[in-house]
Structure 1
Amino acid sequence: MTSLDAVDVVIVGAGIVGLAHAVEAVERGMSVVVLERDEWATGASVRNFGHGCFTAQDGTAYRYAKTARETWLKLAKLAGLTVRESGTVVVARAEDELAVLKEFAEVRPMHLLSAAEVEDLVPTGPDVIGGALLPLDIRVDQRTSVGLIAKWLARQGVRFHWGTTAHLISPGEVVTSRGRVAAARIIVAVGHNVDRHFPSLADEFEVRRCALRMLRVANPHGRDIHPAVLSGHSLLRYSAFSLCPTLPEVQARISREQPSLVDIGLNLMYTQRPDGSLTIGDTHAYHKTLDPFEDNELDRTVLSETAHFLGVPSLTVLEHWRGVYASAPQPYLVASPADGVRVAAVTSGIGMTTAFGLAPDVLDTL
C-alpha cells in the first residue's frame, strides 16, 4: 500500500471533536492530517441545535465549557463563523421550575426573569410564569460551522483526506482505504463509532448510541428569536441543575403528570436557524445498535408539545431527521488503547459545548 501522508498528528474523524483537536494541535505548531470517511461531516456535529449550553454544565464539563466558549468566540473572527452571544432563556411553566431557577441563580451567572420579560425575549404559550436568562451561552449555525472550521484549518496547513476510511489503527500508523498515514500521535474522534475500531474499549466504557428525533419547522410567530430556549423538561437533562435542592420535585411532578414524555427522554427546546425557521426537539433512545424503523409518534409528540410551548395550534414541518451521538455513564471517553493512540469522545451529547475544552487535555497526554 502506498504512503498517503506523514505528520505529527493524525486525527480520525472530522466532526467537532476531531476538529477541536486539530485546532489545538495547530496552535501547538504541529503538522496535522484529518481523515474523514465521508465527503464532509454529516453526523452529530451538524444535526444538533447549534447551542453552546455552557452555563448548565457541571464538574469537568463546566471547566471544558468555559474554555470552549473562548475558542468559539476566537474562531468566529478567524474562520468567519456566525456566533451569537444571545444566551439561553429557560421558560418556567410551574412553580417548582421557577424554584429551581431561583436556586440556580446562587451557583451560576444568570438573571431571573418575570413572565413579561420572558415574553419580551421569546414567544411562549399562555402558561409561562417566569424564567431565567443564561447570558454566557451562545448559538452557532450548526449546519455550517464545522465546514467553516475545516476550511480555516486547511488554510493553516491542515491536510484533509475526505472520503477516506481508517481500516487499521496501530502505533505510529493508520492504514486507510487510500493508503498509509504515519504519525507519532494518533487521535481517534469517531464518536459512537468507537466500537467499530476498539470494541473492547467501547464495552469497557459501556458506550451506546443515543438516537434523537429532531425537526425543523416554520416559525409560527415570524419574529427573530435570538436566545436558545429551554423548558422545564430541560432542567432534567443538564447536569448543573442537579445542584438545585428542589429539582427532584420537578422530576416527580413531570413523571407523575407526563410519564410518556419521561419515557421518551423529551428535552423540549428550540433554536432559530439563520433563515428564521426553528430547530425543535428532542427525544432520546439508547441502544448499541439502532432499529432502522422509527415510529412517527415520536415526531407527533415533539410537534404537539412544541406547539403548546409556543402557544400555537400546530406547526408546519420542513425537515425531520434522526441525530445520533455516543452515550456512556461518564460524560467523556478518553483512553489509550495503544502507544501514541488516544480515543477521545464526548459521551454525553455536549460535543458542540465542550469539545474545545476537551482537546487540550487530550493533547497534553500525548
Structure 2
Amino acid sequence: MSIATALSPAADLPRGRSDLVVVGAGIVGLAHAVEAVRRGLSVTVVERDRRPVGASVRNFGHCCITAQEGDLLGLAERSRTGWLDAAGRAGLWAPEAGALVVARSATELAVLEELRDERGADAVRLRTRDQVGDALGRAADARGDLVGGALLPADLRVNPREAAPRLAAWLAEQPGATVVWGTNVTGVGEGTVHTARGDVHGERVLLCVGHDLDRLHPAEAEAHGIERCRLSMARIEAPEAFRTDAAVLTATSMLRYDAFTATPSAAALRAEVTAHSPELLDVVANVMFTRLPDGTVLVGDSHAYDATEIPFQDEAVSALLLREAARVLGVREVRVTERWQGVYASSPRGPLLVRDVAEGVRAISVTSGVGMTLSFGLAAATFDGDLKTTD
C-alpha cells in the first residue's frame, strides 16, 4: 500500500470493539498504536486531518537521547529501542548517526568534557577541532573559531516528513489495525470515542493530541499549564562539503537540554552566550540543523509561547537563525528552499502530562520539544504499566 493510499480517509468507521483506540496520529499516538500491534492487540487510530501535519512532521527528526536527564533519559533509551524496531518493521530511514555538538569556546568544550566525565567516554566521544571541521565540511583555512566538540553516538535520526506517514501506512496493513483519517473527535467517554462520523469503541482509549488536549479536556490542559510553542524553521540547500547525517548542535542547544544544563560549567556558558549573543537568547534560540536523505538541511529554531499561536513569522528572527547556522557551517550565507512554523505542546510545570480523564481513558502529551525522542519509550512504559500519572 502506498503512503498516498494509506492517508486517504476511511469510508466507514470500524465495527466492533478494539482493544485500544488512539486519538491522534502524531508520533506519540502512532508509537502507542505500533506498540499495541507488536503486543498482539487490536487498535484503531482516529485522526482529524487527512495526513500528519502537526508537530510530528515539522521538527528536526532528531531523537535526542543522550542530552536527557533523570527519568527522561530512561524513557529516551527505551524509545531508541522502539524506534529501531519500528524502523525495521515499517522501512523507515533511521540511521544511528548520533549528534555532533560543536564547541567554539573553551567554556563550551568544558560543558562537553564534564558531560563526558559524568556519562563516560563511550556515551560522549570528544572530538578535535579538525574532526569537527571535517564533519561540517569546512575548509582547512575556515576552522579558526572551532575548539572541538563531542559526538553523542546514541542519538538517532529520522526523516520527520516521512516517519509518521510511513508508520501509519504500515499500521493500516496490519491485521486488527485500522487508521481512520479526516474524522474529528468531539468527545471521549468510558470505552467510547465520539466522532463527527459516529462512535468508535475500545477497551482502552488513549488521547495523544498534544497541545490540542485543550479542545477536548480544557480543565486538564489548563491545570498542567499547556501552551503552544511556535518555532521558526527553514530548509536550506546543503553546502557542497556538508555530508554528515548526525544532528548538529551548538552552544544554544547546550543551554536547552537538561544533561548539559546540569554540568558545573553550564552557568558560565549562559553568561558567555549572554555576553556575545544576547539576541539568540532573546528569541530562545536552539541553533541546530539536520540533513534529510535528499541532502537538504533543516535549520532552526526559535521559541515563542502562548495559549494560541499567532500565524505570523518575524523575518528578522529567521534571518538571525540562518546567519548563525551559516557561521557554524563556515559559509557566507545559505540558500533557503522552504520556511514553516513549527509547533508543539509546552508547559512550565513539566515535560509530560499523563492523566486519567475518565475510566479507561488516559491523556498523554509530551509538553516539551522531545516528543520524537520519547514517543516509543512512552508507549513501552504505557503497556508495561510503568508510566506514572502526573499531578
Both proteins in one fold, TM over 0.5: yes
What is the match of residue 112 of structure 1?
126
Is 2:163 the partner of 1:145?
yes
- Matches of 1:156 and 1:292 in 2, distance apart? 38
- CA deviation string 1:79-125 (max 9, x = no partner): 11111111111000011000000000022211111101111222356
- Matches of 1:200 and 1:273 in 2, distance apart? 39
- Matches of 2:164 and 2:30 in 1, distance apart? 8
Alignment equivalent of 1:306, drawn from 325, 333, 336: 325
Secondary structure of 1:303's partner? helix
- CA deviation string 1:118-164 (max 9, x = no partner): 11222356311100011111111111111111122222231011001
Cα pair distance change 1:218/1:205, threshold 3 Å: same
Alignment equivalent of 1:345, drawn from 365, 378, 391: 365
Greater CA deviation, 137-146 or 354-363?
A: 354-363
What is the match of residue 377 of structure 2?
357
What is the match of residue 95 of structure 1?
106
- Which residue identity does 2:336 align to in structure 1? V
Q: Is the 8 A contact 1:207 1:288 kept in 2?
A: yes
Q: Is the 8 A contact 1:56 1:240 kept in 2?
A: yes
What percent identity do the matched residue pairs reach?
45
Q: Is the 8 A contact 2:78 2:380 kept in 1?
A: no
Q: Is the 8 A contact 1:45 1:142 kept in 2?
A: yes
Greater CA deviation, 244-253 or 286-295?
A: 286-295
What is the match of residue 13 of structure 1?
24
- Which residue identity does 1:15 align to in structure 2? G
Question: Which segments of 5 or more consecutive residues in structure 1 lack a partner in the other structure?
Answer: none
- Which residue identity does 2:378 align to in structure 1? L
Pairwise CA distance, 1:296: 1.2
What is the match of residue 53 of structure 1?
64
Alignment equivalent of 2:209, drawn from 184, 190, 202: 190
- Matches of 2:84 and 2:359 in 1, distance apart? 34
> Could you say what the CA RMSD is over the residues aligned between the two structures, in angstroms?
1.5
- Matches of 1:225 and 1:26 in 2, distance apart? 34
Alignment equivalent of 1:178, drawn from 197, 206, 223: 197
What is the number of residues matched between the two proteins? 365
Q: Is the 8 A contact 2:136 2:241 kept in 1?
A: no
- Matches of 2:296 and 2:255 in 1, distance apart? 26
Is 2:77 the partner of 1:71?
no
- Which residue identity does 2:244 align to in structure 1? I
- CA deviation string 1:194-241 (max 9, x = no partner): 100111101100000000000000112344222111011110111111
Secondary structure of 2:157's partner? strand
Matches within 5 A, 1:271-282: 271-282=290-301
User: Normalised by the size of structure 2, how large is the TM-score?
Assistant: 0.90
Greater CA deviation, 146-155 or 53-62?
A: 146-155
- Matches of 2:384 and 2:67 in 1, distance apart? 26
- Matches of 1:26 and 1:56 in 2, distance apart? 30
Is 2:240 the partner of 1:221?
yes
- Matches of 2:277 and 2:13 in 1, distance apart? 58
- Matches of 2:13 and 2:23 in 1, distance apart? 17
Q: Is the 8 A contact 1:4 1:178 kept in 2?
A: no
Q: Is the 8 A contact 1:4 1:180 kept in 2?
A: no
What is the match of residue 53 of structure 2?
42
What is the match of residue 6 of structure 2?
none
- CA deviation string 1:21-71 (max 9, x = no partner): 111211222110000011111111111111111010111211111111111
- Matches of 2:125 and 2:354 in 1, distance apart? 35
Q: Is the 8 A contact 2:224 2:353 kept in 1?
A: yes
What is the match of residue 268 of structure 1?
287
- Matches of 1:295 and 1:83 in 2, distance apart? 33
Alignment equivalent of 1:254, drawn from 261, 273, 290: 273
What is the match of residue 155 of structure 1?
173
> Higher strand proportion, which one?
1
What is the match of residue 8 of structure 2?
none
Secondary structure of 1:348's partner? coil
